Structure formats: C-alpha cells, structure tokens
Amino acid sequence: MLSKKLEAALNAQINAEFWSAYLYLSMASHFAADGKPGFANWFQIQFKEEQDHAIKFFNYVIERGGKVELKPIKDVPNSWTSPLNAFEDTLKHEQVVTGYINDLVTLAKDEKDYATESMLKWFVDEQVEEEATAQGYIDALRMIKDNGFGIYTLDKELQSRVYTPVV
C-alpha cells in the first residue's frame, strides 16, 4: 500500500509525464509545419514514450492500491527558433524530470517503500539515456551550425527512428 504522501507525489509525476508528452507533441507539430519531417518524427516518438511513462506510473499506483487523480495539463510552448533550440529545451526539460525522479526516490526511501524505490530504478536509468540522447543531438547540431545539408542529413537520420513501446 502506498502512503498518501507517495501516492500524491506519483500522481504529480503522472501529470508531469503527460505534460512532457504534450511538449514533445508540440515540438513534432512545429517541425512538421517547418518542413522537417525527421525532427517531427523524432519528437512524435518522444511523445509516445512519455505517454508510456505516464501509464507505467498510472498502472503502478493502481497496483499498489492507490487512486490516480488526473489534473489539467499546463500549456506548453508552440515554437522554437531552431532544431538546436528545441534540443536544448529538451535537455533542460529532461534534467528537470531527472530531478523529479530523484525526489521520488528520496521520498520512497524516507517512506521505507522499497517496492516503489525498486520500480523507480527503471526511471533513473531512463533519465540517464534521455539526457545523453538530447546532449548528443545538441553536440551534432552545434557542429552542423547553419549548414543546410547537415540539417537535411540529420533530418533524414531522425526520420528512421521507430517507436518501441516501453515495457
């Protein structure tokens, strides 16, 4: 059984994950409208992954006898000045999410909820990957700068990304 404190924190995380999904869907929309289908594809897959993360938390709360309480999702930005700007925002956002996950781990430890602490390990590892991936694209885009062929090539690379459901 989850403590009320941990249940509330996990509910807040569900909202944060859905907000993340909404942010990435907004980025996908921006790049689709900007004629960059590869960037749009990459962010659309991020959208799906974030939805999976929210559902993973959702199912966990229910499994542990808690109640999920969905709250409204706050507005998200709708435009970015460049692909680099979008990936810089992505990294900043993922660093914030890492902080949320770390806070959940700390709370689970404080509440002596070892099951939740164990479940959260997957998210700790996932955040390392999320931040590293965003940083990798930032590094690539900094090398490319304003080179149109470089942006075109990266867009083609990003178009090949396929969605793999989170288990």
Tell me the CATH number at 92.
Answer: 1.20.1260.10
Q: Tens digit of pLDDT for each residue in 71-88? A: 999 999 999 999 999 999
Mean pLDDT computed over 153-164 = 97
Count the residues in the chain: 167
| Alpha-carbon gap, residue 160 to 35, rounded angstroms | 16
Q: Into how many domains does the chain fold?
A: 1
- Model confidence at 167: pLDDT above 90: no
Written as six digits, the tokens of 127 are 């955040």
**pLDDT for 53:** 98
166 in any annotated domain:
no
147 in any annotated domain:
yes
- Give residue 31's domain range: 4-159
- Model confidence at 166: pLDDT above 90: no
Residue 98: partners with Cβ closer than 8 Å, 6 or more residues away: 127, 130, 131
165 in any annotated domain:
no
79 in any annotated domain:
yes
**pLDDT for 151:** 98
What are the CA-CA distances from residue 39 to residues 25, 111, 121, 128 (Å)?
11, 41, 29, 21
43 in any annotated domain:
yes
| Alpha-carbon gap, residue 37 to 98, rounded angstroms | 28
Count CA atoms within 13 Å of residue 140 on its CB side: 17
> What is the radius of gyration, based on Cα positions, of the chain?
17
44 in any annotated domain:
yes
Contact predicate 38/150, CB 8 Å: no
154 in any annotated domain:
yes
Q: Tens digit of pLDDT for each residue in 14-53? A: 999 999 999 999 999 999 999 999 999 999 999 999 999 9
Contact predicate 135/17, CB 8 Å: no
Contact predicate 21/54, CB 8 Å: yes
| Alpha-carbon gap, residue 39 to 62, rounded angstroms | 35
- Model confidence at 6: pLDDT above 80: yes
Q: Tens digit of pLDDT for each residue in 88-137? A: 999 999 999 999 999 999 999 999 999 999 999 999 999 999 999 999 99
89 in any annotated domain:
yes
